[in-house]
Amino acid sequence: MSDQTLGTPHPGAVLRGAVDLSSLRARATTPPSAAATAAGEAPTPPLIFDATDANFATVLELSRTVPVVVDLWAEWCGPCTQLSPVLEKVITDLGGRLVLAKVDVDANPQLAQSFRAQSIPLVVALVAGQPVQLFTGAVPEQQVREVFAQLLQLAAQQGVTGTVPQSPGDSDATTEDAEPPLPPLHQEAFDAIEGGDYARAAAAYEAALAENPRDDQARAGLGQVRLLDRVQGLDLQEARAAAAAAPTDPHAQFAVADLDLAGGHVDDAFGRLLDLFAVLPDEERAPVRERLLELFGLVGDADARVLRARGRLSSLLF
C-alpha cells in the first residue's frame, strides 16, 4: 500500500502496510499504564516530548488513549526548524487532545526507517497503535489546524478520545520558545517553500546572500531548498534500481544520495558518493566532489559524520 495523506477521516486512512512498527511494538513488555498502576500513580505524559528508538513502545501504548502526532526532524533541516514551533503551538492550543512526539531521525535511525522517512520534516500520527501519514514538508499553521481537526475525527471513530492534563507550564512554553520574526527575504523563502515553489525560495535565499554573504541561515536554507527541489517527484525504489543498474553513473548515484540525505540517512549518502569517487577516473571526479561538498554544507562542518567523510575524501584525493 502506498503512503496516503489524511484527507476526509475514515478508518481506511490508517496505514497498516506502509509503516513497519512491529519491532518497536515488541519492546512493550509492560504497558506504561500497568506499571504506573502497580506503583500506585497514574501516568501523566507531557504534551510535547522526545521519542526515541528505545522508548517508542510506550508512545505506541499511549496512542491507545490519546492520538499522538509524530514529528520526524533533524537539526540540519531548515524546514524542520520552521515547522516544529508551529506544531508545538497548535498542540498546546488543543489543550491535551493531542500530544506531540518529536523524533530526531539522525539519533533514531530505526524509527526513521520504520516510518520510511524519505524526506523531512515528515509528520505522522499514531491512533490505537496504528500510523496515519499527515503531511511532508513545512506547511502553514492553518493547514496544520485543519489536518489535526480531521485527525481528531478519525481518532474518535477509532474510540481514541482521551486527553492529557495540561500542566501550568505548557501554556507558556510556546510563548517562551517562540522564534523572532524572519527577515523579509527569509520569510519570502519560507512562504515559497510552503507553496512548493522551490525556485522562488531559492531566488529569495540568493537575494539574501547577495545582501549579506555571511548570512549562514540563508546559505543553509538555499542548500536545503535545492535538495528539496532535486528529490521532488523522485521514487526511492526506482532511483535505487537505476543506481544499481548503473553503478558508475553520477546522476543515478546523486539521486539516491539526495534521497538518503533527505530521509536522514547521512552516512549512507556520503558512503555512496565516496565509493563512486573512489572508482571514477580522475577527470570525472569533479562533479562528485562538488556534490559531496554541497551535502557536507547541508549537514554542517562540525558534524562527526562530515568529519569522517571529509577524512576519507582527503585520503582518496591524495
Length of the chain: 318
Runs of H (alpha helix) within 97-213: 109-114, 141-157, 170-177, 184-194, 198-211
252-260 long-range Cβ contacts below 8 angstroms, 24+ apart: 253/288, 254/230, 254/291, 255/230, 255/231, 257/291, 257/295, 258/227, 258/230, 258/231, 258/234, 259/118, 259/119, 259/231, 259/234
77 is catalytic: yes
Name the active-site residue from 51, 74, 80, 86: 80
Cβ-contact 241, 86 below 8 angstroms: no
80 noted as active-site residue? yes
Cα 122 from chain centroid (whole Å): 4
Coil/strand/helix, residue 94 = coil
248 touches 276 (CB < 8 A): yes
Catalytic residue among 15, 21, 77, 152: 77
User: Exposed (0-12), middle (13-18) or buried (19+): which is 230, by Cβ within 10 Å?
Assistant: middle
Confirm if 232 and 119 have CB atoms less than 8 A apart.
Answer: no
Give the catalytic positions in this structure. 77, 80
